[in-house]
Amino acid sequence: MAKVKKHRIAIIGGGLSGLMAALKVCEAGSEAWIFSYCPYKRSHSLCAQGGMNACMDTKGEHDSIYEHFDDTVYGGDFLADQQAVKGMCEAAPELVRMFDRMGVPFTRTAEGVLDLRNFGGQKNKRTVFAGSTTGQQLLYALDEQVRKWEAKGMVKSFVFWEFLEIIKNKEGVCRGMVAQNMNSMEIKAFAADAVILATGGPGQVFGRCTASTICNGSAVSRVYQQGAHIGNPEFIQIHPTAIPGSDKNRLMSEACRGEGGRIWVYKDGKPWYFLEEMFPAYGNLVPRDVASRAIYDVCVNQHLGVDGENKVYLDLSHISAEYLERKLGGILEMYSEFMGKDPRKVPMEIYPSVHYSMGGIWVDRKHFTNIPGLLASGECDYQYHGANRLGANSLLSAAYSGTVSGPAAIDWANTGERGSELTEEELEAARQRCVDEFEKIVNMNGTENAHELHQELGELMNKYVTIERVNKDLDYCFEEVKKILKRWDNIGVTDHGHWANQEAMFVRQLRNMILYALVVTKAARMRDESRGAHYKREFPNRDDEKFMKITIADYDPNTEEPIITYEDFDHSLIKPRSRNYAVAKKE
């Protein structure tokens, strides 16, 4: 056998995508150096409750991979690269079998095979699940496999290290990265044969969202500032059913609707099941953007929200307690725990919340970014979901994209035109720049509190850049976010120390978040049409002539603002047709 060359691949992120990539790297005989804010098994992937899509076709419905492919493209309102989506749907069943072999305790039928459930935007049962904690179980399985490789010395873990930026050589190729230990505050430069970013979504840019506190998009924003293209940033998915909270909007899984949950409000003193009335073909199972807009309309425009507030009922109380326990146990427990009411007996009160970013770092089908040597996979990339993501498709895309980015990184390390290695001086210069930046922050003595500023940013973004977007409001929002960016300079920190200084790290993340907020807002302003999650009353229709294009955002270092351009993409396999969930999907 030919000797395989041992490379070092730096992977930022220990969620599903990062860990999947790491396994592929190790199997190819190379070392994976994984950097993460937290032990991998605490990554945000574990919050996913509902399930993962794959055409298993074990329910006598003649489900097909083509149908999964078509549902994804249609659900994404035809803005996804169709070749890429096809690849993902084809690989899905095999990925499920891999997870099954790794010991994921999937929910099973009496026969001992994997059970399937319904999910929004799909007529067939296609979603494998592990009770109500699918993401947790999938993540644990990969975490365990990675631990095995760590015991063998092929994985080097940098847990509680924050990625700061990439390092390019003279030729502009990414050959390393800088990171900081979150306890000792040590900043270090690392050389690597390729860097894979798998840092998840940017939910915290919106303050309150369904994501974990570490989903701040900071890493994505930083590589954008270093020249990476951002693709389709304006497409932010709003999940229709979350429990509003001051610290976090807690997700009520779409599985509640999948298992028969009904959404309603009182109208003229009687329950009004408005989704069932508006969309007879799909009823409560319409995709997320459609459901969110309907709820928004009923609450904000028709003032029919529960108790006059922005809330509607999600009702399971008509379903038998035994069935609910078996199918949704953990989810319902969460509602009781955080709200003190039993959803088996009384309808839950929910409202839409920022949930997922379809957009992210632009990548090609092998998950290379436009910066040579830098790859991206998982929620931080822009691939697969177009203008709207189907439920249970992102555990799939996170895992699948890792199976692509890992081997692609190895390919690149073997055969890419990587130019010169980083010299000691170059590594040290990159490190010093990050040290200087950090020292400046530690010594900030202004009057603004970073957490207060973050809250203001979130409120702005939530108000103007979510369910309904209006051009003049977006203009206003953009200017306001720019003011927040200015005010960032006037932050004061109370902790001037060099040990586990979470405050200083947050100040640095916040600046990255603000710059990313500008990207989302500007891209939303420029797209004068409605497509998937992006909706403008002024332009209520999809405009394929002008906007059947992906948005590309580039950082302008002079203004610190994004430059927006548009690019064509591959939609050759399925002809675009209008997306209408009032009637059954036509092919």
Ligand X SMILES: Cc1cc2nc3c(=O)[nH]c(=O)nc-3n(C[C@H](O)[C@H](O)[C@H](O)COP(=O)(O)OP(=O)(O)OC[C@H]3O[C@@H](n4cnc5c(N)ncnc54)[C@H](O)[C@@H]3O)c2cc1C
- Give me the residue label for tokens 């699940």: 129
d(CA 514, CA 517): 5
Cα 136 to Cα 14, 17, 18, 331, 453: the distances in Å are 13, 13, 15, 13, 32
Site size with ligand X, rule: CB under 6 A: 46
Task: Give the span between the Cα atoms of 65 and 92, in whole angstroms.
Answer: 9
Chain centroid, CA 165 distance in Å? 20
Pairing of β 194-197 and β 8-12: parallel
Interface residue with ligand X, options 118, 204, 218, 551 (CB under 6 A):
218
Q: Which of ligand X, another protein, none lies near 247, with the C-beta cut-off 5 to 8 A by kind?
A: another protein
Dihedral over alpha carbons 502, 508, 511, 516 (to 10 degrees):
-90
Binding mask 391-430 for ligand X (x = CB under 6 A): -xxxx--x--------------------------------
Residue 226 binding target from another protein, ligand X, none, CB below 5 to 8 Å by type: none
CB of 203 to another protein, least distance (A): 12
CB nearer to another protein: give 245 or 271. 245
**In the complex, least distance from residue 561 CB atom to another protein, rounded to whole angstroms:** 28
The CB-of-499 to ligand X minimum distance in angstroms stands at: 19
Site for ligand X in 190-209 (CB under 6 A): 198-201
The 3-state DSSP class for residue 572 equals: coil
Residues near another protein (CB under 8 A): 20, 23-24, 27, 37-39, 41-44, 46-47, 94, 97-98, 100-103, 105-113, 130-131, 133, 136-137, 140-141, 144-145, 147-148, 150-151, 183, 212-214, 245-248, 250-251, 334, 337-340, 403, 449, 451-452, 455, 494-495, 497, 499-500, 502-503
13 lines the binding site for ligand X (CB under 6 A): yes
The least distance separating another protein from the CB of residue 56, rounded to whole angstroms, comes to: 11
Q: Which of 117, 250, 257, 288 is catalytic?
A: 288
Binding mask 59-98 for ligand X (x = CB under 6 A): ----------------------------------------
Q: What angle do CA 288, 356, 76 make, to 5 degrees?
A: 55
Q: What single DSSP character describes residue 32?
A: E
Q: Which does 200 bind (CB under 5 to 8 A by kind): another protein, ligand X, none?
A: ligand X
Angle between helices 450-464 and 471-488 (to 10 degrees): 170
Cβ–Cβ contacts within 10 Å for residue 113, how many?
12
Among another protein, ligand X, none, the one that 265 touches (CB under a kind-dependent 5 to 8 A) is: none
Q: Please pick, from the candidates 75, 120, 131, 135, the single residue that binds ligand X as defined by CB under 6 A.
A: 135
List the interface residues with ligand X, window 359-388 (CB under 6 A). 378-380
Binds ligand X (CB under 6 A): choice among 10, 12, 92, 358:
12
Question: Catalytic site residue 288?
Answer: yes
- How far, in Å, CA of 156 to CA of 145, rounded? 14
Q: Site for ligand X (CB under 6 A): which residue of 7, 15, 474, 529? A: 15
What are the residues facing 53 on neighbouring strands? 127
Residue with the two structure tokens 């996804």: 80
Residue 327 or 522: the one with the smaller Cβ distance to another protein is 327
Contacts for 60 with CB less than 8 Å, ≥ 6 apart? none
Q: Which stretch binds ligand X (CB under 6 A): 35-43, 305-313, 325-333, 475-483?
A: 35-43
Tokens 């899509």, located at residue:
53
Q: What is the DSSP letter of 209?
A: S
Sign of the alpha-carbon dihedral angle for 65, 66, 69, 74: negative
3-state class percentages of the chain: helix first, strand second, coil last, to nearest 5: 40, 20, 40
| Phi/psi at 11 (5° precision) | -120, 125
Position 178 contacts ligand X (CB under 6 A): no
- C-beta of 3: minimal distance to ligand X in Å? 32
Q: CA 180, CA 189: separation in Å to the nearest integer?
A: 9
Binding partner of 106, given another protein, ligand X, none, CB within 5-8 angstroms per partner class: another protein
Number of H helices, E strands in the chain: 15, 21
Using the 8-state DSSP alphabet, how is residue 537 labeled? T
Q: Is the dihedral of CA 449, 563, 367, 548 positive or negative?
A: positive
Nearer to ligand X, 304 or 387 (CB): 387
When asked if residue 517 is in the footprint of ligand X (CB under 6 A), the reply is no
Q: Does 128 bind ligand X (CB under 6 A)?
A: no
> CB 145 → another protein: shortest distance, Å?
6
Rounded Cα distance between 44 and 213, Å, is 9
Task: Find the binder of ligand X among 30, 45, 157, 169 (CB under 6 A).
Answer: 45
Site of interaction with ligand X (CB under 6 A):
12-18, 35-38, 40, 43-45, 47-52, 134-135, 162-163, 198-201, 210-211, 214-215, 218-219, 251, 355-356, 378-380, 392-395, 398
Indicate which residues carry an active-site annotation: 288
